[in-house]
Each structure stands twice: as structure tokens, then as C-alpha cells.
A and B are shown apart, each in its own frame.
Chain A
Amino acid sequence: MNDVFTRPPRPARNWALIIGAVTAVTLMTWWSGRGIGFSLTELACNLPGGSRLLVESWPPEFSYFPRLLAPLLETLQIAVVGTVIGGILAVPVAVLAARNLTPGFLVWFVDRNFMNILRTLPDLFWAMLFAAAVGFGPIAGALALTVFTIAVISKLWSESLEAINMGVPEAVRASGGSWLQMLQFGAIPQALPHYVSYALYAFELNVRASMILGLVGAGGIGMVLETQRSTFEYPRVTLIVLCVLVIVLIIEQVSESIRRRLI
């Protein structure tokens, strides 16, 4: 009766599965590469062309920097406005999409699908849409980032809300609290650190995105980048990319240190 001390034999590996999976991935890559005409030899032959671009882009034209200050500031302002407005609007969207907090199935269903639509359409699409609606410029960019922020925060935060302990919300209801009071005193305080964390994350994404949005005319540094690129001013393009890189790195460091303190 020493069964509990018997060492069971190590289970055999599922070789069929491993070999099958590796083969499948290899075949899929080969087939896709052929489809888009991807060839390593051509890539190697064309590398000098790419390096010529790099050589032409160096060194960055630092004397151009003063004229970048205003567009860079505008980029940050677009990101701030988009993050704040989007962050506020994301609160009801996230709450109604959390299964444990939503007042009813219909509300949940409609809100979930609304969220999915926001998330499925890319930020560039929204930028073009708003540029067409309110004209080219930073307002269109801020509106596009508002939508993008709602999509990011509501999805992530509704999942945090679904993971809270429902004991406290029930205790608030047991004291005679309404649905809103249950949210305010029972549910939201538990998930508040997550909210701040996701809002900071959305801000990081927005600074990065506001560079791309300029490409379709939604204001900020991206518009300058697009103009300089189309006129082959590569040293200036390099300077712009460096500036954005530095700003994004600084924001990432700051928000990372805040987030680490929160959770």
C-alpha cells in the first residue's frame, strides 16, 4: 500500500503535435512569403539602396530644431486633450460593459458591440473621418485620439472591473445604496489604480499615435514629418524622429514609475 510513494513514469512527449505544429508554421510562412514575392536574395541585393538612404539622413539637421518646437508642443497638446476627454468618456463605457456591474443584458450587449466597433476601426480611420468632418488640423487629431482612448481604456478597464471582489458592492447595496452608490463606494475604488495605469498607458500610445495621425493631416509633428519626407529633406526627418523618440522615452519612464507605485 505504498502507492503514494511510487514515482510515476515521465509522460511521453507528444511528438506528433510538435512536429505537426512546426511543419504547419513553416509551410504557412513559405506560402505567405511566396505570395508577397519576398525573397532573401533580392533583399540582400537591395540593401545598399537602404543604406544610401541612411547615409543621406545623417547627420540630423539640428539647426532645424527651433522650428519643430511649436509642432511638437501641438502633438503633446493633442495627446493630452484626447487622453483626458477619452479617459472620462471611457468610464461609463467600461462600467456598462462589465458583466458584474451592468444594469441589464441589453445595455451590456449594446455597449460591448459599441466597444468592439471602436476598437476594430484603426486610429488612422478616425483621423481621416474627423479631418473630413471638422477640417484638417489638431482638432481632428484630438477627436481621433479621444475615440482611440475610449477604445483602449474601456476594454482593459472593464476587464479589471469584472475581476473585483463583489462583496463590498453587495455591502453597499445592503446599506440601502443605489446602483450609482454601489459603483462609487463599492466597485470603482477597487479598480481605481488600474484605471490610472491604463490612462497613463493610453497617453503613451496617444503621443506615439499623434505622430502618425499627422500623416493624414490631423495636426502636430506628423504633418511636418510628412512635408519634409515628401521633399526628401532626410536630415530633417532624422531630427524629427529623434525628437519623438526622446519624448516618448521620457513619457514612458515617467508613467512607468507612477504605475509601479500604484499597483
Chain B
Amino acid sequence: MIHEAAIRFERARVVYANGAVGLAGVDLSIAPGEFVVVVGSSGAGKSTLLRAVNGLTPLTAGSVAVHGQPVPRKEGRELRQLRAQVGMIFQDFRITRRLTVMTNVLVGRVAHVPGWRAMLNLWPEADREIAFRALERVGITDKAWVRAGDLSGGQQQRVGIARALAQEPAIILADEPVASLDPVTTHQIMRDLVRINQELGITTVVNLHFLDLARRYGQRIIGLRAGEVVYDGSASTVTQNDFRHIYGRDPDAGDVLDEDAAP
């Protein structure tokens, strides 16, 4: 092994309290700077895979490590320090609608500033600067002092991305980031993620539902089925047959965003 992996799963298993299997023994290594798209039908374990990386869902067996450091299974300072370098973007944006865009983005700095400063909203000038630069990168600087809830869906997701960027993370996890957006906004957000990956070299793992998006924006595609990796290969060589294998059925019109683009 020449380079240390950004994310490495070893026989990772997640079994939920209700007996559902999230991950059924995953071995996977993602290199620094990669742009990986994870596909699979719902319930295949895509979210579980991402949430295991920042410990939101702890493994029940096996291990997952970020830059060689094992992800702790218990809440605490160690896990918070690890999370500080892993940004996450959610399908439902998860921003506080009542607060300004700026405050939402500054939440990405909570692990980097002294607790009392965050508590009193006395953010250091350097951190405000980082937050502004994050907003610049997603092109909504002018909205900094607007109530986040007053923005459009696409803009709200950009606030979510800016919050992740404000962490100055080594890794970004995006859990179905475009599933609540219209097709035009979807492509804009996907291009944003690719551009950020290329410009800043942030390792990016994106869960996607649509096959054409996976093929168009991914470098590497990982297919999950029933908690297992059943496909791992380049996005340029993935075939209809591979998708059939991942989904356990023929892909149809519901699996693509643009109906005229063949799956």
C-alpha cells in the first residue's frame, strides 16, 4: 500500500436493532481525492455506508477508518474531532430555516472555534471569512444575511454544501443530495460537487438514485445490493448489465432523470 486510503472499510457490518441488515460485510477503499458515486435500490445500504464514515450510524462489527484513524463507535471528543474533517450534505438540506444563511454556514465551524465563542455568537473574523469563501464557492454570497427558509430549494442545498465546505473538510459525504430538486437544479448541484472535488481535491462520496447521473458525474461507481458491494468500477465502463445486477431487475424509466438519456 503506497497511499493511505481516505476511507477504508474492513468487513464492516451494521445490523439495526430491528434486525434489518444495513451493511453485510463491506470491504472498500476510497483514495484521497476520488469522486465516488454509490448506487443501489432503496434499502440496499447506501445511507448506512455514508453514515458509518462519520459515526452517525456505528458499525456493529468490522471497522471503518478515515485517513487511517478508526471511527470511534461512541460519542465523544474523539468522534467530534473526526467529524470536523468530514462534511455531510443531506437530501432534505437540514438547515435551520429561521436562521440566516450565514449562521447556518457558521455551524460548519462549531468544531473549530472555542465553545464559548460559538455559544455567544462571537465568531472569530477568520471563521467568518471562511464562511464567506464557502458561500462564494457555491455562488450565493449575496444571500449571506437572508433567512435560510426564504431561499429556493436549490439555494438551500447550496447553503448545505457551504456549511460542509466551511468545515474545510478532507471528505464530503452527500446522501442523495439532489433527490428533492428539479432536473435543472439537480445538474447545477451535481456540477458544483464535481467542481469542488476538482478544485479543492476533497474526497467526495455521493449516494445517487438516478443511473444516468451516476454515469455522467461519477469517476468510480460502487453498486450496493442488500448491504454488499456487488459492483465497483469506472463510471465510463459501467454497462446496462451491471445495473441489472445491482438492482436485481431491468433498469426502467424511473431510474433515470432525463428520460431521453439511455440508462
Q: Which of B56, B99, B112, B115 contacts A180 (CB 8 A)?
A: B115
Question: Is chain A's interface secondary structure helix, strand, loop, or mixed overall?
Answer: helix
Answer yes or no: B8 CB below 8 A from chain A CBs.
no
Q: Which residues B81-139 have CB closer than 8 A to chain A?
A: 81-84, 86-88, 90, 92, 94-96, 98-99, 103, 107-108, 110-112, 115, 118-119
Answer yes or no: A170 CB below 8 A from chain B CBs.
yes
Nearest residue, chain A, Cβ from B121: A184
Given the contacts A181-B110, A185-B107, A170 and B87 also touching, CB distance less than 8 Å: no
Q: For A177, what are the chain B residues with a Cβ–Cβ distance below 8 Å?
A: 80, 107, 110-111
Most buried by A among B90, B103, B107, B167: B107
Stretch at the interface among A136-144, A186-194, A220-228: A186-194
**Bound-complex Cα distance A91 to B86 (A):** 31
Question: Is the beta-carbon distance between B118 and A184 smaller than 8 angstroms?
Answer: yes
Question: Is the beta-carbon distance between B80 and A178 smaller than 8 angstroms?
Answer: yes
Q: For B118, what are the chain A residues with a Cβ–Cβ distance below 8 Å?
A: 181, 184-185
B12 CB to closest chain A CB (Å) equals 19
Question: Is the beta-carbon distance between A168 and B119 smaller than 8 angstroms?
Answer: no
Question: Is the beta-carbon distance between B90 and A171 smaller than 8 angstroms?
Answer: yes
Question: Is the beta-carbon distance between A176 and B98 smaller than 8 angstroms?
Answer: no
Question: Is the beta-carbon distance between A173 and B96 smaller than 8 angstroms?
Answer: no
Nearest residue, chain A, Cβ from B85: A176
Q: Which of A168, A173, A180 contacts B83 (CB 8 A)?
A: A173
Say which size band chain B's interface belongs to.
20 to 34
Encode contact with B along A162-175: 1 for CB under 8 Å, 0 otherwise: 00000110111111
Question: Is the beta-carbon distance between B98 and A190 smaller than 8 angstroms?
Answer: yes
Q: For B92, what are the chain A residues with a Cβ–Cβ distance below 8 Å?
A: 167
Say which size band chain A's interface belongs to.
10 to 19
Q: For B80, what are the chain A residues with a Cβ–Cβ distance below 8 Å?
A: 176-178
Question: Is the beta-carbon distance between B98 and A174 smaller than 8 angstroms?
Answer: no
Answer yes or no: B54 CB below 8 A from chain A CBs.
yes
Nearest residue, chain B, Cβ from A182: B110
Q: For B95, what are the chain A residues with a Cβ–Cβ distance below 8 Å?
A: 168, 171
Answer yes or no: B163 CB below 8 A from chain A CBs.
yes
Question: Is the beta-carbon distance between A186 and B56 smaller than 8 angstroms?
Answer: no
**Bound-complex Cα distance A185 to B115 (A):** 13
Given the contacts A167-B94, A181-B115, A192-B98, A172 and B83 also touching, CB distance less than 8 Å: no
Q: For B110, what are the chain A residues with a Cβ–Cβ distance below 8 Å?
A: 172, 175-178, 181, 185
**Bound-complex Cα distance A254 to B168 (A):** 47
**Bound-complex Cα distance A43 to B168 (A):** 79
Q: For A184, what are the chain B residues with a Cβ–Cβ distance below 8 Å?
A: 118-119
Question: Is the beta-carbon distance between B87 and A175 smaller than 8 angstroms?
Answer: yes
Question: Is the beta-carbon distance between B56 and A174 smaller than 8 angstroms?
Answer: yes
B121 CB to closest chain A CB (Å) equals 9
Most buried by A among B81, B94, B163: B94
Q: For A172, what are the chain B residues with a Cβ–Cβ distance below 8 Å?
A: 107, 110
**Bound-complex Cα distance A177 to B109 (A):** 9
**Bound-complex Cα distance A168 to B97 (A):** 10
Given the contacts A168-B96, A190-B96, A175 and B115 also touching, CB distance less than 8 Å: no
Nearest residue, chain A, Cβ from B169: A175
**Bound-complex Cα distance A212 to B118 (A):** 43
Question: Is the beta-carbon distance between A174 and B96 smaller than 8 angstroms?
Answer: no
**Bound-complex Cα distance A176 to B164 (A):** 11
Q: For B87, what are the chain A residues with a Cβ–Cβ distance below 8 Å?
A: 175
Q: Which of B82, B94, B119 contacts A170 (CB 8 A)?
A: B94
Question: Is the beta-carbon distance between A176 and B111 smaller than 8 angstroms?
Answer: yes
- A–B pairs, 8, beta carbons within 8 Å: A171-B163, A175-B164, A176-B80, A176-B112, A181-B115, A185-B107, A185-B110, A185-B118
Other than A171-B88, A171-B94, A176-B83, give 5 A-B pairs with Cβ distance below 8 A: A170-B56, A170-B94, A174-B56, A176-B80, A190-B96
A residues adjacent to B (C-beta < 8 A): 167-168, 170-178, 180-181, 184-186, 189-190, 192
B residues adjacent to A (C-beta < 8 A): 54, 56, 80-84, 86-88, 90, 92, 94-96, 98-99, 103, 107-108, 110-112, 115, 118-119, 160, 163-164, 167
A-B pairs, top 3 by smallest CB distance, nearest first, are A176-B111, A176-B84, A171-B94
